[in-house]
Amino acid sequence: MTNASATLDIRRARGSVIDPSRPLRAGSIASALAPRCGPIVLIGGRLRPHRNRCQALEKMLCDASTAAMLRDDPRASPGLALRDVPVQGDTGMTFRRTLRLQVQSLTDSDIAKVATFLRVGRGRLRCDWEIVFGGELHVLMLGDGEPDTLVGMLDDPLAMLRIVDAGTERRDAGSVLLVRPLQYDAFIEALSAVEQRVHASHGAATTSAPADVVPASREADAVPAVAEAAKPGASFRLRRWPPAAALQGHRYYLRLASCLSARHVGIDELVRLSNVSRPRCEEFLATLLAQAVLDVRPTPATAPTAAPPARSARSASSDATPQAAAPARSRPLPDTSLFGKIRRKLGLTLLR
């Protein structure tokens, strides 16, 4: 792979190179915007020194690819994207969180633009963004005229974006207004603001309690440790309640931590109790291991239990584990346990 330490190489899959040390010209990337050219790869993972240049390139790519896409087929993807590829030994890559952008009542054209913006703007954003149409969300994006709540949603999203037609006189407290036609910079800046809030909350905790917060690299290092610790029979219990920053990674972390606070729980049991997907559980356990707040017991705490009945109202979450659904039924059984009844009565199922 090309050594990226001296210069930043922006090249197409076919190999043509844009020299970042020279001014960017529209003509120099025009060939890269051909409909079937494939992704544009940014080699080296060294975006930061060339931030302005990359943002300019993103904008040009986005404008051109969006225009091409809308001209041909609003649903089509032109396959253009900036991808950050690390070279061997490059330590510039950082841990990226995935945030979920739920779109509601947007036109196909708007959705296609959003998808393109996210793809092209990936290098400018600190997190990976996923477009979803239901379930768990971090940011809610609404078409004009839609109510700002969703049925069954009690949790506030981190932010609410609303697309309005130009000239619309609308003032929404708590919403970020984006004007049609959707602009790349405005959209990416809105998401960047959300990311800053996420990172700021994490960073604040880092400042106030440095000993409690684990850098992303340490967290990543803990994943193999979890794999080792999660061998059959291993069980986990909290030594103490985790630092608040460790619980902010995902809305279900509170649920997982609660299960782990009562007794030693194996990972399969944790998946079943919480109805959270196994990868998510492993990720959380890795976080807790890195924080040194987890007691790991290598021998089985309890004998394996029989497959549980599926639980109601949990299937709405994309993290709902497939194992929790009764395999022979198309619809989950209602949770008839005492706890299921209590949660239903209190409306706690809506919080899940």
Partner 1 sequence: MNHHKIVFTGAPGAGKTTAIAALSDKPPVLTEVRNTDAALGKSHTTVGLDFGQVDMGDGQSIRLFGTPGQLRFEFMWRIIATDALGLVILVDNAKPDPLADLAIYLDAYNELLPTMNCAVGIGRTLEYPRPSVDDYAEMLGARGLAFPVLPVDVRRREDVLMLVDTVLFQAEARTV
Contact set with partner 1 (CB under 8 A): 154-155, 205, 208-209, 212, 237-244, 254-255, 257-263, 265, 269, 273-274, 293, 302, 305, 337-339, 341-343, 345-348, 351
CB nearer partner 1, residue 46 or residue 272: 272
Minimum distance of partner 1 from residue 5's CB (angstroms): 40
CB nearer partner 1, residue 1 or residue 254: 254
Label each residue of the chain as H, E or C. CCCCCCCCEEEECCCCEECCCCCCCHHHHHHHHCCCCCCEEEECCCCHHHHHHHHHHHHHHHHHHHHHHHHHCCCCCCCCCEEEECCCCCCCCCCCCEEEEEEECCCHHHHHHHHHHHHHHHHCCCCEEEEECCCCCCEEEEECCCCCCCCCCCCCCCEEEEEECCCCCCCCCCEEEEECCCCHHHHHHHHHHHHHHHHHHHHHHHHHCHHHCCCHHHHHHHHHHHHHHCCCCCEEEECCCCCHHHHCCCCCHHHHHHHHHHCCEEHHHHHHHHCECHHHHHHHHHHHHHHCCEEEECCCCCCCCCCCCCCCCCCCCCCECHHHCCCCCCCCCCCCCHHHHHHHHHCHHHHC
CB nearer partner 1, residue 33 or residue 259: 259
Minimum distance of partner 1 from residue 199's CB (angstroms): 18
Minimum distance of partner 1 from residue 221's CB (angstroms): 22
CB nearer partner 1, residue 138 or residue 352: 352
CB nearer partner 1, residue 96 or residue 237: 237
Minimum distance of partner 1 from residue 344's CB (angstroms): 8
Minimum distance of partner 1 from residue 345's CB (angstroms): 5
Minimum distance of partner 1 from residue 240's CB (angstroms): 3
CB nearer partner 1, residue 10 or residue 256: 256
